[in-house]
A and B are shown apart, each in its own frame.
Chain A
Amino acid sequence: MNKHTLAVTVENKPGVLTRVTTLFRRRGYNIDSLTVGTTENPGISRMTIVVEGDDKVIEQVTKQLYKLVDVCKVIDITSERAVDRELVLIKVKADNNVRAEIVQIVDIFRARIVDIGRNSLIIEATGDRGKIDAIEDSFRPFGIIELVRTGKVAMVRGSK
């Protein structure tokens, strides 16, 4: 099973997200992650959907998405040269004994510390999925109190 990344431009209207997720649920497609946000055009939103499935499934997903009146364009950017990023916030246990070590890891991953508590730190990092996975793994031994990932956003490189 391959993961595919679909860049989907949709009308920026209430209910569009429901239409998309209803379609995935009803047809039994599995959403790995879904992000949605505004674009340079206030009337248009952009979804980045990561979906699992073989080529046949992805073809069906794409065609079914196109049938939604509020969907303008669907591009499978999996095999395109694309930049993809995810943001993660991690609240990690950090007493005085380990703070220095954590700061080192933060530096290595070019992450940032955005909040300091008595016994914890909040770390913010962006990167592709692999990097975020690695960051998560690196902090796990210290004890992760809370973690949230945004899911991926992506854009094709160059002038396309």
Chain B
Amino acid sequence: MKMKGAEILLHCLQKEGVDVIFGYPGGQALPIYDALYDSPIQHILVRHEQGAAHAADGYARASGKTGVCLATSGPGATNLVTGIATAYMDSVPMVVLTGQVGSSFIGTDAFQEADIIGITLPITKHSYMVERTEDVARLVKEAFHIAGTNRPGPVVLDLPRDVMDRVIDFEDNNEEVNIRGYRVMKGVNNGQIIAAAEMINRAERPVIYAGGGIIISGAAVELKEMAEKAKIPVTTTLMGMGAFPGMNYLALGMLGMHGTRYANYAISECDVLIAVGVRFDDRVTAKLEHFAPNASIIHIDIDAAEIGKNVDIDVPIVGDVKEALQALIPRLQSREELSEWHQTISRWKAEFPLRYGKSSEGRIMPQHVIEKIYELTQGEAIITTEVGQHQMWAAQYCQYKNPRTFLTSGGLGTMGYGFPAAIGAKIARPDMTVIDIAGDGSIQMNIQELGTAVQYKVPVIICILNNQYLGMVRQWQGLFYNGRYSYTDMTHQPDFVKLAEAYGAVGMRITRNEDVESALQEALQIKDRPVLMDFWVEREANVYPMVPPGQSLLNMLGGEDNE
């Protein structure tokens, strides 16, 4: 059949199960947009390409499918970069389509030409410049295969205009993907599984350190089974929220820089640490030499390069987390209780719960808003976040029951991620309530996507915890820079309610504690439009506990008593 390159592209995307593309048109993407005009694939027109990348990312994290975004060449493509890096750091499967100038113009500094392959080399799992229309089908297939298997990540397909325009005789012969240097990981080393099981069965003070790999692998059920069978307490990373039910009696909450005291104590005291789908990030380990100093460490991860990267491992297990846990569970002894260890942890939990003080000026405490969100949604909503204090509070004061319900930029720490990601998540899961917990700084980084959410009637709720500061940086300036609040005061800001209304969204301002719950209830009823809630919160509340940079996990500030 005679088909244009762009038509072949869309045909192949459909075959990969793509039902929605987040994108923004432009000159060199014209052939693709022309083909989209007739395609059953839905296209969401964002207001800035960064929004497209984050929305595709949110869609992918919420659904487990590969997200797709599309931009034109040059500035369109470069505007995607932050979104690509965000997805790369958090191992999110994404296929990024970029228009490119025609083949004969490449390398001539043509109008809107940018070397997006070169620019994105260190932040993509792989990338292709599609040079021939004949290669489109094969490379689309390879791109999805690479993006979605093993440790997932973004793959860029750069599409020169003439390659998309050219008509060829196309026959879809459904070739199998065969890439010499890339094999899907199968199986785990049985000897290592036995060694791990023996170590766990002998342990007196075991802890599971659970991360995003469990969610990606779909191993939450196995994790729960393992923890409950062997009665092992579980602490989750920021990326692992939802991998283990937050209300479970074995749950320790988050560990690390803003982890719970009891999680950090448990890590420091444990004799066997079972690290599952994690990468020993510096925000988790704090000072490396003092991380789990008494423990033998088992590390299960699909990415061999993560094993032994930061911490020496006693039992490395390279492979899919789900497969590894399935192999491990039958070898674990069923335990009734680990009385002494569990008692110690219960004592820590009772003595050092997460807590926060009262507002000095009768303002709303930001943590209180998050507690109310949890009370009203009971872990049945998808929560996205921006980056900063509100992000940490969202991890601390909300519990997550299910995988894929907490979407946050953990690795790159991208302000402006949460709102477009919420749009993507809501489109992936229209049945779920989706709430973006935001700060007044972060929300302004992609607030233009209100236009998108209103146009497509995507009823996400934005909860701005508005302290008129870049709060996390202010907190550090307060603690470590003698209170010199250098350029973190954001008192000058728009009227968020009016701004929301100008876009056609619902705007609400909440300034009193007693209105928090009713306002949230009202927002949860709105199903046809986005709602922006502007909570005026305590200006100088800090995130505690906090491990100061360069310290060990035991050196936590705050959270010892009611301050």
Contact = CB atoms under 8 A, between A and B. Distances in A.
Name the residue among A10, A56, A69 with the largest chain B CB count within 10 angstroms. A69
Interface stretch (B3-11, B118-126, B217-225, B430-438): B118-126
Interface in A67-82: 67-72
B179 A15 contact: no
A71 B305 contact: no
Contact of B122 (A11, A22, A71): A22
A95 to B, nearest CB: 47
Interface residues of A, number: 20
A18 B308 CA distance: 26
Given A59-B308, A67-B303, A67-B305, A19 B121 contact: yes
A150 interface: no
B309 interface: yes
B180 interface: yes
Interface string B112-134: 00000110011001100100000
A69 B181 contact: yes
B181 A22 contact: no
A15 to B, nearest CB: 7
B182 interface: yes
A72 B303 CA distance: 16
Interface in A58-116: 59-60, 63-64, 66-72
A71 B117 CA distance: 17
A26 interface: yes
B126 A60 contact: no
A18 B118 contact: yes
Contacts, number: 35
A69 B309 contact: no
Interface in B130-186: 146, 179-182
B244 to A, nearest CB: 28
B502 interface: no
A60 B181 contact: no
B304 A60 contact: no
Given A15-B117, A18-B118, A69 B179 contact: yes
Interface string A1-14: 00000000011000
A23 B126 CA distance: 12
Interface string B231-275: 000000000000000000000000000000000000000000000
Contacts of A22: 121-122
B496 to A, nearest CB: 39
A60 B182 contact: no
A64 B151 CA distance: 13
A69 B121 contact: no
A63 B181 contact: no
A18 B121 contact: yes
Given A18-B121, A22-B122, A26-B122, A72 B305 contact: no
A60 B309 contact: yes
B557 to A, nearest CB: 32
A56 B146 contact: no
A62 B180 CA distance: 17
Contacts of B117: 15
B203 to A, nearest CB: 27
Interface string A30-68: 000000000000000000000000001001100110111
A70 B122 contact: no
Interface in B81-131: 117-118, 121-122, 125-126, 129
B309 to A, nearest CB: 6
Nearest to B146: A69
Contacts of B309: 60
A69 B128 CA distance: 11
B365 to A, nearest CB: 42
Nearest to A64: B305
A6 B121 CA distance: 22
A60 B305 contact: yes
B122 A72 contact: no
Contacts of A19: 121
A111 to B, nearest CB: 39
B103 to A, nearest CB: 13
Contact of A69 (B126, B129, B304, B305): B126
Contacts of A11: 180-181
A23 B122 CA distance: 7
Given A67-B303, A71-B181, 15 more contacts: A15-B129, A19-B121, A56-B308, A59-B308, A60-B308, A60-B309, A63-B304, A66-B304, A67-B305, A69-B126, A69-B179, A69-B181, A69-B182, A72-B180, A72-B181
Interface of A: 10-11, 15, 18-19, 22-23, 26, 56, 59-60, 63-64, 66-72
27 contacts: A10-B181, A11-B180, A11-B181, A15-B117, A15-B129, A18-B118, A18-B121, A19-B121, A22-B121, A22-B122, A23-B122, A59-B308, A60-B305, A60-B308, A60-B309, A63-B304, A63-B305, A66-B305, A67-B303, A67-B305, A68-B181, A69-B125, A69-B179, A69-B181, A69-B182, A71-B181, A72-B181
List of 10 A-B pairs having minimum Cβ-Cβ separation, nearest first: A63-B305, A69-B126, A72-B181, A26-B122, A22-B121, A69-B182, A63-B304, A72-B180, A71-B181, A64-B305
